[in-house]
């Protein structure tokens, strides 16, 4: 709040927010804090009949009615929005901009929204999102039908969230949209007939950003994008495109059936079968020698 806040009889204050169509605002998520203390009254959240293309506004008709607000107080508005099917993938991103409107004349008798006000420049925050494109191929790098995949993100609380998949008409290219930074697990849930299965592949999506300022305010810039394999037996090298926000890799299935690992149950069975054959041979030669007598 302004240092001369005490000079005002009334004080209008409003938070204006504009979100692009790739973002869906959650009205019930709005929280307001005065100097880190939550308040639940003294303001309204407006979503209809707004100018300047605003998605919503948080309006304080008169901050002077909130006793906790004083000169130097900091008001914080928190809310959540979710990326939707219209989200732009890649470096263009999805713009969420906000500005403040506030009373700027302590001598004004009218006050409120219709009184003299000032405003800050728009502050732009860009929400970036990415996609992973998986091409299923055989050992000769030819498209291979018959596979199915799931992609899960590892959350900080230890749970996982499944990412929706979009397949091409041939069923050989799998696209997972709406990714952000973090660890993901790609699992082949169905293996093409006659081919070996692959173990789940864990990879990390890393995106770096920078903040740029100009005469109108702040904007975020995507500076780099990468995807790096952490575990898994299959060959997996991701090619990144910052422009369209894609991380693309081929996943190879090799023909044939995998043999059991050494020490596995199948190996023990083979050893046992071999022992039976040796014993049987011993009995046969023993009988042959006895008959020769």
pLDDT in tens, 174-201: 999 999 999 999 999 999 999 999 999 9
- Higher per-residue confidence, 11 vs 281: 11
CATH number reported for the structural domain that contains residue 181 in this entry: 2.60.40.10
Range of the domain at 47: 5-127
| Rounded mean pLDDT, 216-239 | 89
Confidence of residue 257 (pLDDT cuts 50, 70, 90): low
- Does position 258 have pLDDT exceeding 60, yes or no? no
**271 within a domain of the structure (yes/no):** no
Q: How many CB atoms lie within 10 A of CB 58?
A: 19
**182 within a domain of the structure (yes/no):** yes
- Does position 270 have pLDDT exceeding 70, yes or no? no
97 and 181 in a single domain? The answer is no
Number of domains in the chain: 2
* Global pTM value: 0.77
Q: In angstroms, rounded to a whole number, what is the distance separating the alpha carbons of residues 200 and 227? A: 16
Cβ atoms of 199 and 229 within 8 Å: the answer is no
**266 within a domain of the structure (yes/no):** no
**290 within a domain of the structure (yes/no):** no
- Does position 292 have pLDDT exceeding 60, yes or no? no
Last residue of a domain, one of 106, 127, 148: 127
| Rounded mean pLDDT, 54-74 | 96
Provide the CA 65 distance to its chain's centre, in angstroms: 41
284 by DSSP, 3-state: which?
A: helix
CATH number reported for the structural domain that contains residue 117 in this entry: 2.60.40.740
pLDDT number for residue 219: 79
Q: What pairs with residue 214 in β-bridges?
A: 217
Residues of the chain with pLDDT > 70: what percent?
86
20 and 89 in a single domain? The answer is yes
72 and 134 in a single domain? The answer is no
Residues of the chain with pLDDT > 90: what percent?
75
């Amino acid at each position: 709040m302004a240092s001369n806040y005490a000079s005002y009889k009334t004080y209008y204050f409003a938070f204006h927010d504009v979100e692009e169509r790739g973002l869906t605002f959650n009205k019930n998520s709005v929280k307001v804090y005065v100097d880190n203390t939550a308040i639940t009254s003294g303001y309204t959240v407006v979503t209809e009949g707004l100018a300047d293309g605003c998605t919503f506004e948080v309006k304080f008709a008169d901050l002077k009615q909130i006793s906790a607000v004083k000169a130097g107080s900091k008001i914080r508005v928190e809310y959540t929005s979710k990326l939707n099917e219209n989200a732009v993938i890649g470096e263009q991103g999805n713009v969420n901009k906000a500005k403040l409107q506030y009373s700027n004349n302590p001598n004004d008798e009218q006050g409120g929204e219709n009184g003299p006000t000032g405003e800050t420049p728009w502050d732009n925050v860009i929400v970036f999102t990415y996609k992973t494109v998986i091409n299923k191929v055989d050992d000769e790098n030819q498209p291979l039908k018959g596979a199915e995949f799931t992609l899960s993100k590892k959350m900080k609380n230890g749970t996982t969230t499944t990412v929706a998949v979009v397949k091409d008409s041939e069923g050989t290219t799998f696209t997972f949209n709406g990714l952000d930074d973090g660890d993901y697990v790609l699992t082949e849930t169905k293996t093409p007939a006659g081919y070996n299965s692959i173990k789940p592949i864990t990879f990390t999506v890393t995106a770096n950003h920078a903040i740029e300022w100009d005469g109108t305010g702040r904007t975020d810039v995507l500076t780099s994008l990468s995807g790096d394999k952490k575990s898994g037996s299959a060959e997996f090298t991701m090619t990144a495109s910052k422009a369209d926000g894609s991380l693309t890799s081929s996943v190879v299935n090799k023909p044939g059936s995998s043999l059991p690992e050494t020490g596995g149950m199948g190996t023990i069975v083979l050893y046992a079968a071999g022992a039976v054959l040796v014993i049987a041979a011993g009995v046969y030669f023993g009988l042959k020698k006895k008959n020769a007598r």
